[in-house]
């Protein structure tokens, strides 16, 4: 695929994903996520040709102006969309597939000083919500969603939804999950456990009342 065609796809995905986008001029001039992706594509081209210093300079200039840090070694596919984007960090050995969406404050990072592949692989059509941290050489499966504020340390299967700290799979149904993520409607596994405990306590209290009532009648 030609370089300029790839840039055109980066613009088109903004209109697909952001209802606030109005005109091509507005998107090209004011969307920091788009600027960061374009800068990365240039930096990555230099990185592949082993112009490492120049690639890092481009990425750092982009970071200064956009607030988004993408290492020039990261591999990013087509139609990648960063919504807002402030505070996004993408590590050197990240591999991101096609049609991936991430929100502000997301970190795709490592867990220490390990060598080799040390950052996540994000497969096609995945969505990573605000403030989520995906750490280590793990894989986020195709069409999966990571809920806002989650910390993910293990592989996520395809077509799954993950929430919590540490992240837990709460939805997995084998069918493609919609791209839009209702952050306020995500299931909370901790609250669900507490609710089960509360129901069990009420049940035990009712049983205890019945036993006391039976004892009084016997007396």
- The sign of the dihedral angle between the CA atoms of 115, 55, 103, 101 is negative
Q: What pLDDT, on a 0 to 100 scale, did the predictor assign at position 176?
A: 45
38-74 confidence digits (pLDDT tens):
999 999 999 999 999 999 999 999 999 999 999 999 9
Residue 208's CB is within 10 A of a number of other CB atoms, namely 10
pLDDT at 34 over 50: yes
CA angle, 196 as apex, 194 and 200 as ends, to 5°?
115
pLDDT at 186 over 60: no
Q: What pLDDT, on a 0 to 100 scale, did the predictor assign at position 174?
A: 56
Q: What pLDDT, on a 0 to 100 scale, did the predictor assign at position 177?
A: 44
CA distance 125 to 140: 10
118-176 confidence digits (pLDDT tens):
999 999 999 999 999 999 999 999 989 998 889 999 899 888 888 888 888 887 765 54
């Amino acid at each position: 695929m030609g370089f300029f065609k790839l840039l055109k796809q980066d613009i088109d995905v903004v209109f697909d994903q952001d209802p606030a986008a109005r005109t091509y001029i507005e998107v090209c001039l004011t969307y920091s996520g788009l600027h960061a992706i374009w800068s990365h594509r240039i930096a990555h081209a230099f990185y592949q040709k082993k112009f490492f210093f120049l690639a890092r300079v481009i990425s750092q200039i982009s970071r200064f102006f956009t607030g988004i840090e993408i290492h020039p070694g990261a591999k990013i596919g087509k139609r990648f969309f960063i919504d807002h984007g402030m505070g996004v960090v993408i590590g050197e050995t990240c591999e991101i597939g096609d049609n991936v969406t991430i929100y502000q404050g997301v970190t795709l990072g490592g867990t220490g000083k390990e060598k080799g592949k040390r950052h996540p692989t994000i497969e096609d059509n995945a969505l990573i919500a605000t403030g989520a941290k995906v750490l280590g050489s793990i894989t986020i499966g195709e069409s999966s969603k990571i809920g806002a504020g989650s910390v993910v340390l293990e592989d996520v299967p395809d077509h799954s939804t993950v929430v919590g700290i540490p992240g837990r799979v709460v939805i997995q149904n084998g069918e493609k999950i919609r791209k839009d993520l209702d952050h306020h409607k995500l299931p909370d596994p901790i609250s669900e456990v507490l609710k089960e405990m509360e129901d069990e306590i009420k049940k035990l209290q009712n049983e205890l009342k019945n036993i006391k009532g039976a004892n009084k009648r016997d007396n």
